[in-house]
Amino acid sequence: KKKLKISGRELASVPAQIFSLDQLQVLEMSPERESCLRYRMELLPRDISRLRNLTCLYVDSNNLKKIPAEIGTLSHLERLTLSNNSLSSLPPEMGALQRLHSLHLANNSLTELPAPLCQLRSLTFLDVSDNKIGTIPSSIRQLEKLETLLLLFNSLESLPEDVCLLRNLRTLWLGNNHLRSLPASFGELVNLDWGYNDCSCNFEGNPLESPPTEVCSRGPEEIRDYFLSFHRT
């Protein structure tokens, strides 16, 4: 089989025989999202490196506390979901996953955006919502292909100018942080669907001044209209 789903409320470890399936491409060890279940697996085994053909690995809603360095050997990995775990850090070896384009890290215990993420040049989707992230490193500018960046429910007090260099961004969610202003070059994110798609941006729950003059003076008219309506609501 090239696709395998392992399920069970009491799932606490990966069955050893799984690692002999060297042609496996998709491995799912997450409960259904609608179920609100949480599995009990705390450790992803180092033997995960034996599944060299994996393209998708789903390990949401477990109790993972650590990701082994061997994750970096999965050179074909394109999608990795680690949301709803207990991760406080990621191994630097993750920077080797150069085919990875979708990474889910929502609802963990991260306090900063890990440096290895900024080496993932193929990344188009990054969700680090509901952590404790307070700063974004300037190296984020390296994520040239990033189209979706979700940073809701963190502790951001400022947004670095480097985020405004992510010219391919189409969706940016910054709700429920501590942002009082935005970079002057924010209006240059021209691929954000201002005024036409409510899902394109989210700033609710921030003490932003409205409209932020440093943004409106640089960007298209839709930006000003967006913040004026945001202020009224």
pLDDT on residue 230: 62
- The 3-state DSSP class for residue 47 equals helix
| Bridge partners, residue 57, by sequence | 27, 80
pLDDT on residue 208: 84
- Give the C-alpha separation, 154 to 193, whole Å: 23
Q: Which option is the CATH number for 110-232: 3.90.1150.10, 3.40.190.10, 3.80.10.10, 3.40.50.300?
A: 3.80.10.10
> CB 167: neighbour CB atoms within 10 A?
11
Could you tell me the strand order of the sheet in which 3-5 lies?
3-5, 26-28, 56-58, 79-81, 102-104, 125-127, 148-150, 171-173, 201-202
Phi, psi of 104 (to 5 degrees): -110, 120
| The two three-digit tokens of residue 65, written as one number | 């506390």
Burial string for 210-223 (b: 16+ CB within 10 Å, else e) reads ebbebbbeebeeeb
1-107 is a CATH 3.30.70.270 domain = no
Cα pseudo-dihedral 182, 188, 190, 196, rounded to 10:
40
- How many separate helices (H) and strands (E) can be counted in the chain? 2, 9
| The two three-digit tokens of residue 99, written as one number | 């085919």
Domain with CATH 3.80.10.10 in the chain: 1-107, 110-232
- Amino acid present at 80: L
Show contacts of 230-233: CB within 8 Å, 24+ apart.
230/203, 230/204
- Alpha carbon 119 to chain centroid distance? 14
Cα pseudo-dihedral 232, 164, 122, 194, rounded to 10:
30
pTM: 0.90
Contacts of 211 (CB under 8 A, 6+ apart): 223, 224, 227, 228, 231
| The two three-digit tokens of residue 179, written as one number | 């942002």
pLDDT tens-place values along the chain, 233 residues long? 699 998 877 888 888 899 999 999 999 999 877 567 888 899 999 999 999 999 999 999 999 999 999 999 999 999 999 999 999 999 999 999 999 999 999 999 999 998 889 999 999 999 999 999 999 999 999 999 999 999 999 999 999 999 999 999 999 999 999 998 888 888 888 888 765 666 778 888 999 876 676 676 666 676 777 777 665 55
| The two three-digit tokens of residue 36, written as one number | 């609100």
- Give the C-alpha separation, 89 to 208, whole Å: 30
